[in-house]
Amino acid sequence: MSEIILSIEDMEKTYVGGVHAVRGVSFEVKEGESLAIIGSSGSGKSTVLRCINRLIEPTHGIVRLKGERINTPAADVNDVRSRIGMVFQSFELFSHLRVIDNVSLGLIHVRGINKEDAIDQARSVLDRVDMLDRVDAYPGNLSGGQKQRVAIARALAMKPEVMLFDEPTSALDPELIGSVLETIQGLAEEGMTMVVVTHEIGFARDVADSVIYMDQGLIAEEGGSSIIDNPKTDRMRDFLSSIND
């Protein structure tokens, strides 16, 4: 049995203003597992990810990383964020910093690594995402796919225990999606533990070990990737056909 890396217990989130975005969500992710979360816009997927790495706090529920509760005031937020890598749809790179500096920044300022070693480590992760030839470029001169691979490298540089991806290919032109999906697939194959919110159903079917379908703040269906081809509910079936159009 593999170790449970991440566990979510009965998570709920009500936003100020009253939207009950997540209404009792529980799941576990084991070491080396890749979990895909799918579901319509507004079903609460991003809220779950944001509560996991404490960009926001859940209203109720427990988040554990390797058994240790991380959503408490006693757990250091910066420590949590360096153990949980997050990649957003919108890249979130620093536009005034070169690629190499975007990737080495956290190593220097959060991990306290000296600049020379940080640059070496940053080069090695940029090599993994096939961006070593662009270390001196500024983000503005990269394609969306290249920016996203740099954002992935920046998260990987911190040697996270789990990676969270929130629709990593949604902002990309169709011809750039493949290179980013291949990068994420490569990480999954190397055994990186990950949670990927995605509309790329092929990825959920072919790469993910398990799939969660969220609907209206709840897990409506979950199982192995075969659930993609055998939805039990009309709502999941309708959702899948809506994104295949």
Binding residues for ligand ADP (CB under 6 A)? 15, 17, 19, 21, 39, 41-47
Residue 161: phi, psi to the nearest 5?
-85, -25
* Shortest CB 40 distance to Mg ion, Å: 10
- 46 lies in the site for Mg ion, by CB under 5 A: yes
Kindly tell me which of 135 and 194 has the beta carbon lying closer to ligand ADP.
Answer: 194
Residue type, 216: Q
Alpha helices in 158-214 (DSSP H): 174-189, 201-206
* Shortest CB 168 distance to Mg ion, Å: 11
Kindly tell me which of 46 and 198 has the beta carbon lying closer to ligand ADP.
Answer: 46
Length of the chain as a residue count:
245
Kindly tell me which of 47 and 104 has the beta carbon lying closer to ligand ADP.
Answer: 47
Distance CA(58)–CA(40), nearest Å, equals 21
59 CB burial (10 A radius; 0-12, 13-18, 19+) = middle
17 binds, among Mg ion, ligand ADP, none (CB under 5 to 8 A by kind): ligand ADP
Distance CA(52)–CA(73), nearest Å, equals 14
Kindly tell me which of 21 and 35 has the beta carbon lying closer to ligand ADP.
Answer: 21
The H-or-E segment that residue 142 falls in is none
- Closest chain position to Mg ion (CB): 46
77 binds, among Mg ion, ligand ADP, none (CB under 5 to 8 A by kind): none
Name the residues that contact Mg ion, by CB under 5 A. 46
